[in-house]
Amino acid sequence: MNGKEGRLTLTKWLGLLPALTVLAVLFAGALVFAAVQSFGHAPQYGVTEFPTLKYYRGVLGDDGFWVSLGITFYYALVPTVLGGALSLALALSLSRRFRGKALALFLYRIPMVVPYLVGVSLAILLFANGGLFARLFHALGVIATPADFPRLIQTSGGVGIMMVYLWKQVPFMTAMLYANLIVIGRQPEEAATLLGASPWQTFRHVTLPRLMPALVGSTLIVFAFNFGAFEVPFILGAGYPNTLTVEAWRLFDNPDYSQRPAAMAIVCLLTLISAVCVLLYLMLSRRFDRTVGRAA
């Protein structure tokens, strides 16, 4: 069913054209606008220095940029890795038979279908220093004042931010893995068990390789999203240092409009870095696939 070979005729082009045009104009066009402005063409702000590298030099020369880049990576990577591992365990558990499965399948998807802002609300209520957890520990006599509770939100430690990411994304990754488990079916595993493989061996040599594409795909989406996320670090992060997206927002929001090309430079760099990371990851996972393929 993979379609007919051949050249694309005009009528078939017509099918693709509207969708591609919209994306080319809105998406690619937006990026080109951002890039052009970052090189100094923003007459509406009185900036007409095109082409100049001044804004990139300014951004890259600021120590704050590198600190922010580090923070951006940190907030993006930790939940991706932790979430990936957790989702794997959960998807495997969910694929078993148990009582109340229908309810579990309903409940676990809730975070997937609500905005990140809901997660932010929950984090504020639970993890603030005067939040419910702090009160619980106070009631248990563990802490005396809210100041004794560790700072989880509005610090650059980012625990609150990463909690929201995990809450939102573990269900998403679990859903992707679980769906693939269903598509794959249970026969390969059963066959391996019948042949005397231990549960660990079955997982390592049968289940995991089959889940790899889904695992790579879902962690990739999650990483790329976290890298470019805005609302969560903006509200739950520190005033300084914070992620590059928040820095870009602040520069763009600055009353001094001549700062805006610098904001553009940051978002362009952000896009570039994100794309490079995704490509690197894809290359690595392909290589890993081949190694695993040979070993199996």
Residue numbers 43-102 binding other proteins by CB under 8 A: 43-44, 64, 89-90, 92-94, 96-98
Q: Contacting other proteins (CB under 8 A), which of 57, 66, 70, 132?
A: 132
Residue 221 binds to other proteins (criterion: CB under 8 A) = yes
Of the candidates 158, 181, 173, which has an alpha carbon nearest to the alpha carbon of residue 86?
173
Tell me the residue type at 296: A
Cα gap 22→27, rounded to integer Å:
8
Closest contact distance (angstroms) between CB of 173 and other proteins is 9
Residue 7 binds to other proteins (criterion: CB under 8 A) = yes
Q: How many CB atoms lie within 10 A of CB 205?
A: 15
**In which element (H, E) is residue 48 found?**
strand 47-48
Contacts of other proteins in 251-270 (CB under 8 A): 252-253, 255-257, 263-264, 267-268, 270
Tokens of 131: 């939040």
Contacts of other proteins in 144-203 (CB under 8 A): 145-147, 151, 153-155, 167, 170-172, 175-176, 178-180, 182-183, 186, 189-190, 193
Query: 1-23 burial by CB neighbour count: b if 16+ within 10 A, else e?
Result: eeeeeeeeeeeeeeeeeeeeeee
Residue 23 binds to other proteins (criterion: CB under 8 A) = yes
SS3 category, 96 = coil
Closest contact distance (angstroms) between CB of 291 and other proteins is 24
Closest contact distance (angstroms) between CB of 63 and other proteins is 8
Q: Confirm if 193 and 175 have CB atoms less than 8 A apart.
A: no
Residue number, 74 or 252, with CB nearest to other proteins: 252
